[in-house]
């Protein structure tokens, strides 16, 4: 039975419950408001962080120093009379992204110019010089979001330790399979059918039992470049002479500090190459590897430069390097692929350009698939990177493409300034599409027509 007193107590109890409910509602509202405010603050903070390009993934030691990435870029350049790369288009794209030149560019440039004048140092055409001294303001504690080495073999060692959010180099030493001595073996292990069709048999030149004389072999130093110290052999006696030569010589001895020794590879020689106006040639194509936000992407430009030998092709022995070595120095003018590949210029009539490009893409998709397995490609001082490689292809007189080697620099030099401008504009428009906008604006790099899909390793 409920008495009046019980009713009053009950009403009081209900009143307390109602009040507590109201209090809880108010508390929840306040909490929600606070949460929403915090969230909005966090969001705005994240926006400001991304706008100011502050790296949110810094190491603990870097966080302690409270280092920020400024919205500036630094383009390294050598002081030479020949300007190989016209960077106007690159600067145009960087400016559109809201990035400005770092003031240290002018400071270091003036410092170097003064040094050259004071020490009466005159540079030859194409020569590059650095005095290896950097102002204290630009030491390894300084960080900048865009740090571009020039795209040649000359790397300014003064800047190796400068930290950056994005730059155009990767740890190529880790991608050792791209080098001449392991490229063939690594690809053959994973893509035997592709290698069988698109690469010539390759091995260390000391493996006597691999040779099948009198077949002709080309010998190439693993750490050589510019076609130096390349030999052709077709007998055991010539092999013995080559071994003696490599154990005592090295064109780049002043850099490598030792002869080639055993660091030489032998490859079966392609005897029926595609000829440009009766002269042996190869094609240099630009291959782009990007590693942004811990993710790989790969791309291949579908135009390139044709590089020729110096004399009309013949297989008469002994081999003349001017007939068989293809170099920029022996290429008389700027020859473009695929524009100059036509019936007037080639020994293969009605060449199928789309099929040539398709074969190149297949080969580089295989290379990319292996490369994607290695995630240890960044140096300690970089957060993201990309690498612009120059890939050498040869084509035989049946239209089959052969992979020769992959170089870690593009190595394309135009003889005419006008052609250099055209090439650079295409290159930097392409980099903007595949690197800059995907990184700074979040666009989809794989939407590019030059994107290379990966192949299953068990292909």
What pLDDT score was predicted for residue 86? 79
Tokens matching residue 235 = 């007998």
What pLDDT score was predicted for residue 13? 47
What pLDDT score was predicted for residue 410? 84
Which of 269, 270, 275, 245 has its CA nearest to residue 259?
245
Angle, helices 88-96/417-431, rounded to nearest 10 degrees: 30
Which of 449, 346, 362 has its CA nearest to residue 401?
362
Report which DSSP code applies to 127: -
**pLDDT under 50 in the chain at which residues?**
1-14, 16-19, 22, 26, 30, 34-35, 37-67, 79-82, 126, 141, 152-153, 459
What pLDDT score was predicted for residue 405? 93
Biggest CA-to-CA distance, the chain: 125
From CA 382, how far away is CA 62, in angstroms rounded? 12
What pLDDT score was predicted for residue 444? 97
What pLDDT score was predicted for residue 380? 84
Domains delineated in the chain: 62-167 (no CATH), 176-200+270-447 (3.30.470.20)
Radius of gyration over every alpha carbon of the chain, rounded to an integer in angstroms: 30
Evaluate if pTM is beyond 0.85.
no
CB within 8 Å of 27: residues ≥ 6 apart: none
Angle, helices 353-371/180-190, rounded to nearest 10 degrees: 90
What pLDDT score was predicted for residue 44? 42
Burial class (CB in 10 A: 0-12, 13-18, 19+), 113: exposed
């Amino acid at each position: 039975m409920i008495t009046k007193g019980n009713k009053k107590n009950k009403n009081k109890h209900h009143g307390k419950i109602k009040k507590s409910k109201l209090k809880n509602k108010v508390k929840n509202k306040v909490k929600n408001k606070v949460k929403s405010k915090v969230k909005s603050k966090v969001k705005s903070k994240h926006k400001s962080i991304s706008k100011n390009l502050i790296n949110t993934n810094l190491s603990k030691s870097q966080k302690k120093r409270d280092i920020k990435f400024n919205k500036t870029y630094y383009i390294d350049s050598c002081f030479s009379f020949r300007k190989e790369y016209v960077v106007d288009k690159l600067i145009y794209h960087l400016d559109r992204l809201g990035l400005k030149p770092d003031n240290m560019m002018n400071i270091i440039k003036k410092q170097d110019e003064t040094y050259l004048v004071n020490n009466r140092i005159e540079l030859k055409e194409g020569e590059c010089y650095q005095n290896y001294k950097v102002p204290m303001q630009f030491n390894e504690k300084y960080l900048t979001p865009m740090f571009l080495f020039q795209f040649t073999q000359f790397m300014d060692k003064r800047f190796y330790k400068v930290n950056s959010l994005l730059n155009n180099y990767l740890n190529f030493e880790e991608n050792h399979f791209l080098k001449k001595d392991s490229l063939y073996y690594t690809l053959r292990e994973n893509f035997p059918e592709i290698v069988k069709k698109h690469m010539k048999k390759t091995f260390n030149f000391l493996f006597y039992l691999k040779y099948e004389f009198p077949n002709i072999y080309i010998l190439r130093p693993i750490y050589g470049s510019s076609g130096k110290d390349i030999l052709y052999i077709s007998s055991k006696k010539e092999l013995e002479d080559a071994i003696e030569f490599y154990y005592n010589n090295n064109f780049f001895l002043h850099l490598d500090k030792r002869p080639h020794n055993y660091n030489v590879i032998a490859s079966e020689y392609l005897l029926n190459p595609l000829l440009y106006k009766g002269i042996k040639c190869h094609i240099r194509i630009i291959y782009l590897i990007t590693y942004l936000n811990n993710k790989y992407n790969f791309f291949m430009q579908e135009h390139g430069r044709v590089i020729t030998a110096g004399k009309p092709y013949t297989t008469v022995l002994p081999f003349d390097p001017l007939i068989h070595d293809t170099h920029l120095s022996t290429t008389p003018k700027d020859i473009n692929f695929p524009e100059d590949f036509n019936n007037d210029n080639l020994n293969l009539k009605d060449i199928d350009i789309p099929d040539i490009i398709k074969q190149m893409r297949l080969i580089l998709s295989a290379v990319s698939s292996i490369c994607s397995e290695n995630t240890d490609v960044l140096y300690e001082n970089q957060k993201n990177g990309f690498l612009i490689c120059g890939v050498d292809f040869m084509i035989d007189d049946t239209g089959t493409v052969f992979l020769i080697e992959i170089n870690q620099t593009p190595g394309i030099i135009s003889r005419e300034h006008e052609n250099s401008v055209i090439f650079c504009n295409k290159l930097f428009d392409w980099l903007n599409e595949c690197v800059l906008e995907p990184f700074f604006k979040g666009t989809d790099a794989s939407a590019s027509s030059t994107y290379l899909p990966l192949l299953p390793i068990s292909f």
